[in-house]
Chain A
Amino acid sequence: MRIITVFIAMVSGLAILAAYFLKGLFPVLGALQSQLLNAAILLAGVAALSGIFNLLSVHAGKVRRGEKGGIYSALLVVSLFITFVLGLILRPGHEAMQVVVMGIILPAEAALMGVLTISLLYAAIRLLRHRADVTGIFFLLTVVIILFGSATLPMIGSIPLFGDFSRWWSQVWALGGMRGILIGVALGTLVTGLRVLFGADRPYGG
């Protein structure tokens, strides 16, 4: 069974990859690629449903066992059930469903964004507690330079010359570092993909 799983994964992956390069020469590869990708999208849709059931079962279990924070889990289960049933009956485009999205989900996410701002500020303040080294100091210095470079101060406006310095700092040093990191991430992604493609890594339990 394990060998069959690995075989199916490798052949599907190689067929999709081959189609990217060779579908001009072999049109059958293009058709196969679109069939496989459609199947993957369909499976991803089913996985979303399975993910919701997983969320439901974990939180229902918390309520049943009376775990700490169980009240929030109960709230989640009830809300999920009501929204799911309403969505099935009324369809997602219905006005009541829009109220759920615009009146509950969006404000809740906006509130989380607000909390996130405070968390980020707090993280910046305690940065030197975690990392009192050259990298930490440069990181904080860059944040301050870019923040003041883009800010307009009351009575003064933009700080003379500082805006140009900030732009130079972000366009040369920060952007250079960013590109270096992105090249590293791209190489890592490429090599991880190759490992999965040739079955060295099997995240599907094979």
Chain B
Amino acid sequence: MMNFIELIVLAVGALLLGVIALWKRKSPAKLREIPALARLSRLLGLSVEDGTRLHISLGSGNLLDMRGGSALAGLAMLRHIAERTSVSDAPPVASAGDPLLGMLSQDTLQAGYKAAGAAELYSPSTGRVAGLSPLGYAAGAMHISTNENVSANIMLGHFGSEVALLADAAERGSTAVIGASDNLTGQAVLFASAQEALVGEEVFAAGAYLGVGASHAASLTLQDLFRWLIILLLLGGAAAKLLTSMGIL
């Protein structure tokens, strides 16, 4: 029975995503302002103008388990950043704490360069595996922001408490830090240590705010729809329990 409900939710979700994406192509979405994402958009332009580098940290999420969702969101953002900043004097660097994610970051960067018509400028060393454990990754990636003329660190992926080391290194190098994680500990640490932090599902909203495509804007609408449905179900469940305890139901 549960399997059947899950299948229905997925099928309805996929159908709605397609329909809303078609609708969003005709009428662009109006989005509330998220300061971190507004700043991210400004930082992309600034890094090209002043010839500094962006460091995109994708975290140590494994694509074969549930931590892969935020890593995939990070890759979508990386593709857009590569496309917009590929012609900069100092191209962006992506670091990952998982080998599969590292390979995909190289592929994504290359696709971004191709889309910008600058395929010859792509260098495989801009997509790196910085370490194979969360702490090892933090130790490897924290030197990128201090040693490679980085003006902003954008952390989007699966991070735990080790992200404090990355944020601290960036802070010492006077670089801007924008952070987002799907992990609660990582979110709390980023909230305290990053200049701009994305909380909760905002980690998945970067694509829509950067104008990656109609499917990203459609995702936000679909998330809102599902959220309202969950709120109604929770309230309905609470009301039913209350009425049952009062003997009305």
Q: Which residues does A use to contact B, with CB under 8 Å?
A: 17, 20-21, 40-41, 43-44, 47-52, 54-55, 57-58, 61, 67-69, 72, 109, 112-113, 115-116, 119-120, 122-124, 126-127, 130-131, 139, 178, 180-185, 187-198, 200-206
Is the beta-carbon distance between B76 and A205 smaller than 8 angstroms? no
Is the beta-carbon distance between B189 and A120 smaller than 8 angstroms? yes
Q: Which of B102-157 contact A (CB under 8 A)?
A: 102-104, 106-108, 110-111, 124-125, 127-133, 135-136, 138-140, 143, 147
Is the beta-carbon distance between B14 and A194 smaller than 8 angstroms? yes
Per-residue A-contact encoding for B92-105, CB less than 8 Å = 1, 0 else: 00000011101110
Is the beta-carbon distance between A124 and B135 smaller than 8 angstroms? no
Min Cβ gap B62→A in Å is 8
Give every chain B residue within 8 A of A51 (Cβ-Cβ).
98-100, 102-103, 129, 132
Give every chain B residue within 8 A of A47 (Cβ-Cβ).
99-100, 102-103
Contact residues on B (Cβ < 8 Å of other chain), bracket: 35 or more
Give every chain B residue within 8 A of A194 (Cβ-Cβ).
10, 13-14, 17
Is the beta-carbon distance between B161 and A116 smaller than 8 angstroms? yes
Q: Which of A40, A58, A112, A192 is in CB contact (< 8 Å) with B125? A: A58
Is the beta-carbon distance between B182 and A185 smaller than 8 angstroms? yes
Given A116-B165, A120-B164, decide whether A61 and B125 contact each other with a Cβ distance below 8 A.
yes
Is the beta-carbon distance between B10 and A187 smaller than 8 angstroms? no
In whole angstroms, what is the CA distance A5 to B195 when docked? 39
Is the beta-carbon distance between A119 and B193 smaller than 8 angstroms? yes
Is the beta-carbon distance between B17 and A195 smaller than 8 angstroms? yes
Main secondary structure of the interface of A (DSSP, over half): helix
Q: B44 contacts the other chain (Cβ, under 8 Å)?
A: no
Is the beta-carbon distance between B182 and A203 smaller than 8 angstroms? no
Query: 16 additional contacts, CB 8 Å, given A192-B72, A195-B219?
Result: A40-B64, A54-B102, A55-B129, A58-B128, A69-B143, A112-B165, A115-B165, A119-B168, A181-B199, A185-B69, A191-B219, A192-B219, A196-B72, A198-B14, A203-B79, A203-B104
Is the beta-carbon distance between A44 and B64 smaller than 8 angstroms? yes
Give every chain A residue within 8 A of B184 (Cβ-Cβ).
178, 181-182
Is the beta-carbon distance between B104 and A204 smaller than 8 angstroms? yes
CB-defined A-B contacts under 8 Å, sample of 15: A52-B99, A52-B129, A54-B129, A55-B131, A67-B147, A119-B167, A119-B193, A127-B192, A130-B195, A184-B200, A188-B69, A193-B69, A194-B14, A197-B14, A203-B107
Give every chain A residue within 8 A of B131 (Cβ-Cβ).
55
Is the beta-carbon distance between A113 and B135 smaller than 8 angstroms? yes
Q: B54 contacts the other chain (Cβ, under 8 Å)?
A: no
Min Cβ gap B17→A in Å is 5
Give every chain A residue within 8 A of B31 (Cβ-Cβ).
none
In whole angstroms, what is the CA distance A106 to B140 when docked? 16
In whole angstroms, what is the CA distance A197 to B23 when docked? 20
Give every chain B residue within 8 A of A204 (Cβ-Cβ).
104, 107
Is the beta-carbon distance between A139 and B191 smaller than 8 angstroms? yes
Min Cβ gap B178→A in Å is 12
Min Cβ gap B190→A in Å is 9
Is the beta-carbon distance between B111 and A205 smaller than 8 angstroms? yes
Is the beta-carbon distance between A201 and B76 smaller than 8 angstroms? yes
Q: Which of B98, B100, B168 is in CB contact (< 8 Å) with A123? A: B168
Is the beta-carbon distance between A191 and B76 smaller than 8 angstroms? no
Give every chain B residue within 8 A of A181 (Cβ-Cβ).
184, 187, 199-201
Whose C-beta in chain A lies nearest to the C-beta of B76?
Answer: A201
Is the beta-carbon distance between A112 and B107 smaller than 8 angstroms? no
Give every chain A residue within 8 A of B64 (Cβ-Cβ).
40-41, 44
Q: Which of A67, A189, A201, A202 is in CB contact (< 8 Å) with B182? A: A189
Per-residue A-contact encoding for B51-71, CB less than 8 Å = 1, 0 else: 000000000000010100110
Min Cβ gap A187→B in Å is 5
In whole angstroms, what is the CA distance A194 to B106 when docked? 23
Q: Which of B1-42 contact A (CB under 8 A)?
A: 3-4, 6-7, 10, 13-14, 17-18, 21
